[in-house]
Every structure is written in C-alpha cells, then in structure tokens.
C-alpha cells in the first residue's frame, strides 16, 4: 500500500495530505496480490459497516471511529422506469441512511480514525454543508476538537446539525477564504485539515461502489448517475469499481455519468468546453475550483460516460416527483442525479441505471419551503401570503430589487416612499424577512470595513412578482 500523486505520479508515505511537490490529490494504491484471500476483513465480516472491507488503509482497529456508516439500502425503483419511459431497471443507492444522513460519513469515519491514530487533538474543515456536519459528529464522538468554517451560503438545516454535534463554527465569505484559514491552522498549529481530496476520505467513499457490486453486481451496460461538487464522489466510485475489477470480483466496468446545475458547473464546463455562470445554484454542488476536477473528468472519460448540465427547475421537479413516486425524501443535490436520468437515456443505451442518493431531504428545509410555496400557490393562497407581509416589508423587497442593498440605503428608500421609521426598526424587518426565507445576507469587503448587503431569494422574487 502506497500513496501516489494523481498528477505527477510521485510516491510518498502515508504522512501527507496532498502531494508536497505539486499539491495535487494523493491516492492509495494497493498490491492486489496481497488481497487475493477476499474483499472482506475477517475481523469485521459479520458487520454491515464499511470497515468489513479489506481494501482500506491500515488503521489499528483500536483507533477506529465508527457510528455504523455504510451498509445502506439499494432500492429497486417500482415507478421511475415508467416515469422515464424506460424498459430497464432503476436503482437508488440510498446514502441518506448513514448516521448523519449523507454519504460523507463513510469518508469521515476513515479520516477521523486516522487522525486519532496519529495523535492529533484538533481538526478543521471548510464545508457548505454535509462535510462539516459529519466532521462535527465524528470528531465529537472521538473526543477531538473540530473547527468548522462555513460559507454564507450554508443551508440552515445543516448549520443546525453542526451546532448540535458540537463543532466550533466560524463564518467565512466563501470556500476560498475558509480553505486559506484551515491551511494556515495546519501550518501554524498542526490542526489537521479535512478536505474532500484527502486520500483517507476518498477511501471511505469508494466503499459505495463495493456495496453496489455486492448487492446487484455490475455490468458494462450499467450507468451510474452521480451529482458532482468537489469531484471526489464520482472519482472514488470509479476507483472502487476498478479495484473490484483488478481483484476479479467483477468482470465488467460501468459507465459513470456526472451532473451539475447549469451555470454552476465547472467540471461539466471543462469537459464540454463551454463556460457559464448564473446566480442560482445548490451550495453542496458548487465549488468554483473543485479540488478533484481533473479526477472527476478522468473517471467520466475512462468509463466511457458523459457529463450533463441541467436546470435548477428540473432538479426541484425531480425532488418533488421522486419523493411521491418512491417514498424517498432526498436532499436537492441528490435530486440532480434523478433529473439527469432522462438525458442519459436520450444519449446512451443502458440496461440499468443506478443513481446515488447522497443525503436526506430534511437537511435542507429551505428547499422544502420553496417546493411547498409552489404547491400552496397553486391553491390560490399566494396573494394572501403577499398581503400578509405588510406594506413596509413589501417596500423593503422592492428597494432591494431596485439596487438598494444595504441597511442605510433601504432606510432612505423607505423615507422617500413615505415610511418614517428608525434605522434599527429597518434592521428588525430585514431580520424577519431573512427568517421568512425572502432575502439572504452577504458580507463583502468595504472601505476599511466589511459591508452587509441584502439580496432577494428565489422565493422573495416570486412574492414580489405576485404584486405586479
């Protein structure tokens, strides 16, 4: 077993978190002749945990930190084939059944176990959601202090989880700023940074591929549909399938299909040679500079698969439909893989589709609220909701949509329209609009200080449009 750089090819010990020469992702490589006795570890043969698999980093079993991750259900769809007019089979690998509700628990179990074995007392992470949740839970369980850096775009459901699990949280403007802070902690204080391109993390994620093959086998006519953020999930799956092939556990390899939201799709853009940006995205799927972009591209190209960009509205519709059709309530990032099935079937001939359900829908109450708003509006309640806001709040929404995007300018706008209230009262209205999900707050650098600015959410725009 060794660590090899995915870019320059140099080999290192297992003490590094990334290549010390080119800073690229390191990957574990195994001598497969040492594992011919089988894929399962005899010590854990009777468990459903990821630790039952033999082809994992060597970690003293006394250091293992596990909450029962892995062994998730693979659901054979009854209604989706008809929904997509598909004569084959569709399976959903339901990772929402992991301890904190996402596939990420697999990787975090491995990496926290490694950290514990090496004697680190603190870890840090920058995450828009699920990774921070999982690190907070597993590190608390292991007695390790966690520093969780979260961007302004974090979904509130995931923030609440992080806080409940006990992680020390810090707000940053974006992923880039958080990355700078956790790497500085590593350089100055040896606080171990947990990133989605960490080789230990990716070894845990690949066990999804092991379980799919274990449950239903793998054929070359299978298509695995995967939502992409950092690129770690799709490459880890490909690594897992290739290892099974090398061991002789499977005879064929599947095609991998990656999906991102149109306008927030750096990996797909790199493959298709086009680039676009929109201010509408899913935080869990949007990394401006994905750490494993080159590996995600490699997985798609080597497998003979493809990459798709889909509209945000398609993802919302898929989330609503699959919940009703299959009884699985998934987070919106997972619904992206369901929405892309139609595109896969239009372009490729496959006999089976396996879609990865990355997390649970209860992690993202804002999206649920958005869907419910759409359903309520169909009942004719929309105008009543607008009326219930009150004139002052409606004027504030109008001010923000017209470019008056910070507190003082909104106050001046209200004064010009005949609303004479004190500035602190304006901020109270803004707070209530944020809680209602109609605006969100961003902090940007100003002259000598940071400036808080306000923007309408999609729901805020809908409310305002209903007035016209």
Q: What is the largest CA-CA distance in the chain?
A: 80
Q: What are the φ/ψ torsions at residue 102 (nearest 5 degrees)?
A: -150, 160
Mean pLDDT over residues 211-226, rounded?
96
Q: Are strands 2-5 and 26-29 parallel, antiparallel or unpaired?
A: antiparallel
Q: Which of 59-68, 248-257, 285-294, 303-312 has the lowest mean pLDDT?
A: 285-294
Q: Considering only CA atoms, which of 335, 389, 332, 355 is closest in space to residue 157?
A: 332
Segment 403-433, tens digit of pLDDT:
998 888 999 899 888 888 888 788 888 888 8
Which pLDDT band, with edges at 50, 70 and 90, does 135 fall under?
very high
The length of the chain in residues reads 468
Residue 3 above 60 pLDDT?
A: yes
DSSP state, residue 174? S
Distance of CA 414 to the CA centre of its chain: 39
pLDDT of residue 26 exceeding 60: yes
Give the right CATH number for 74-100+202-366 from 3.40.50.1100, 3.40.50.10490, 3.30.200.20, 3.40.50.1820.
Answer: 3.40.50.1100
Q: Which residues contact 142 (CB under 8 A, 6 or more apart)?
A: 65, 112, 115, 116
Mean residue pLDDT of the chain comes to 87
pLDDT at 113 over 50: yes
Quote the pLDDT of residue 377: 53
Between the two ends of the chain, the Cα-to-Cα distance in Å is: 65
Would the pLDDT of 457 be above 70?
Answer: yes
For residues 13-32, give the mean pLDDT: 87
Q: What pLDDT, on the 0 to 100 scale, is given for residue 1? A: 79
User: With pLDDT > 70 as the criterion, what percentage of the chain qualifies?
Assistant: 88
- CATH code, residues 382-467: 1.10.10.10
pLDDT of the residue at 138: 98
More confident position, 413 or 107: 107
Element (H, E) at 440: strand 439-445
CATH 3.40.50.1100 residue ranges of the chain are: 74-100+202-366
**Better pLDDT: 190 or 446:** 190
Give one DSSP letter per residue of 213-260, joined into a string.
HHHH---TTEEEEEE-SSSHHHHHHHHHHHHHHHHTS-SS--EEEEEE
Provide mean pLDDT across the span 81-108. Answer: 97
- β partners of residue 170: 149
- The answer to which of 125-129, 269-273, 340-344, 442-446 has the lowest mean pLDDT is 442-446
pLDDT band at 442 (very low <50, low <70, confident <90, very high): confident
How far is residue 368's CA from residue 359's CA, in Å, rounded to a whole number?
Answer: 14
Backbone angles phi, psi at 218, to 5 degrees: -140, 135
Residue 228: name the closest of 144, 180, 293, 170 by CA. Answer: 293
State the pLDDT at residue 66.
96
Q: Where in the chain is the domain with CATH 1.10.10.10?
A: 382-467
What pLDDT does residue 381 have?
A: 43
Residue listed under structure tokens 């992923």: 175
Q: Which residues touch 427 (CB under 8 Å, ≥6 apart)?
A: 407
Q: What is the C-alpha to C-alpha distance for residues 164 and 433, in angstroms, rounded to an integer? A: 25
Query: Torsions phi, psi of 125, nearest 5?
Result: -155, 145
CB atoms within 10 A of CB 382: 17
Q: What is the tens place of the pLDDT at every residue in 255-304?
A: 999 999 887 889 999 998 876 655 444 555 556 678 899 999 999 999 99
Angle at 248 between CA 245 and CA 249, to 5 degrees: 80
Is pLDDT larger for residue 334 or for residue 69?
Answer: 69
Query: Beta-strand (E) ranges in 88-167?
Result: 89-94, 122-126, 145-151
Q: Which strands sit side by side in the sheet containing 192-194, from one edge to the other?
A: 168-172, 145-151, 122-126, 192-194
- Which is more confidently placed, 7 or 465? 7
- Rounded CA Rg of the chain: 23
Q: What span, in angstroms and rounded, lies between the C-alpha atoms of 397 and 464?
A: 7
Distance (Å, whole) CA 360 – CA 371: 16
233 within 8 A of 242, measured Cβ to Cβ: no
The predicted structure's pLDDT at residue 415: 87
Q: How large is the average pLDDT for residues 34-50?
A: 79
| pLDDT above 70: residue 374 | no
């Amino acid at each position: 077993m060794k660590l090899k750089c995915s870019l320059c090819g140099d080999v290192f010990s297992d003490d590094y978190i990334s290549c010390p020469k080119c800073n690229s992702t390191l990957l574990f490589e195994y001598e497969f002749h040492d594992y011919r006795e089988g894929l399962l570890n005899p010590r854990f043969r009777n468990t459903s945990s990821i630790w039952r698999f033999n082809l994992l980093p060597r970690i003293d079993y006394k250091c293992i930190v596990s909450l029962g991750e892995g062994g998730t259900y693979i659901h054979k769809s009854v209604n989706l084939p008809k929904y997509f007019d598909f004569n084959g089979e569709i399976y959903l690998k339901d990772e929402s059944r992991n301890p904190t509700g996402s596939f990420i628990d697999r990787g975090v179990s491995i990496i926290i176990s490694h950290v514990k074995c090496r004697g680190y007392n603190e870890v840090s992470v920058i995450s828009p959601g699920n990774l921070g949740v999982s690190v907070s839970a597993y590190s608390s369980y292991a007695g390790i202090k966690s520093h969780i850096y979260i961007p302004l775009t974090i979904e509130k459901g995931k923030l609440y989880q992080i806080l409940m699990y006990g992680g020390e949280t810090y707000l940053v403007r974006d992923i880039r700023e958080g990355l700078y802070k956790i790497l500085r902690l590593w350089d100055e204080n040896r606080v171990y940074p947990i990133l989605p391109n960490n080789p230990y993390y990716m070894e845990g994620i690949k066990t999804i591929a092991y379980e799919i093959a274990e449950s239903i086998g793998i054929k070359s006519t299978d298509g695995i549909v995967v939502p992409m953020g950092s690129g770690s999930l799709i490459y880890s799956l490909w690594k897992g399938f290739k290892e099974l092939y090398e061991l002789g556990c499977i005879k064929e390899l599947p095609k991998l299909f990656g999906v991102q939201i149109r306008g927030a799709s750096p990996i797909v853009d790199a493959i298709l040679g086009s680039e676009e940006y929109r201010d509408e995205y899913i935080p869990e799927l949007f990394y401006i500079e994905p750490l494993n972009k080159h590996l995600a591209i490699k997985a798609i190209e080597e497998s003979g698969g493809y990459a798709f960009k889909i509209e945000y509205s398609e993802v919302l519709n898929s989330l609503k439909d699959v919940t009703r059709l299959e009884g699985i309530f998934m987070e919106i990032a997972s619904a992206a893989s369901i929405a892309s099935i139609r595109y896969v079937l239009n372009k490729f001939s496959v006999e089976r589709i396996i879609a990865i359900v990355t997390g649970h829908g209860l992690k993202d109450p804002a999206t649920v609220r958005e869907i419910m708003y759409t359903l309520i509006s169909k009942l004719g309640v929309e105008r009543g909701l607008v009326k219930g806001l009150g004139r002052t709040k409606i004027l504030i929404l109008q001010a923000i949509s017209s470019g008056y995007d910070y507190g003082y300018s909104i106050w001046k706008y209200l004064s010009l329209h005949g609303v004479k209230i004190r500035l602190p009262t304006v901020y109270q209205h803004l707070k209530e609009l944020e809680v209602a999900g109609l605006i969100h707050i961003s902090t940007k650098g100003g002259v000598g200080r940071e400036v808080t600015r306000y923007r309408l959410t999609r729901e805020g725009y809908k409310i305002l449009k209903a007035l016209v």
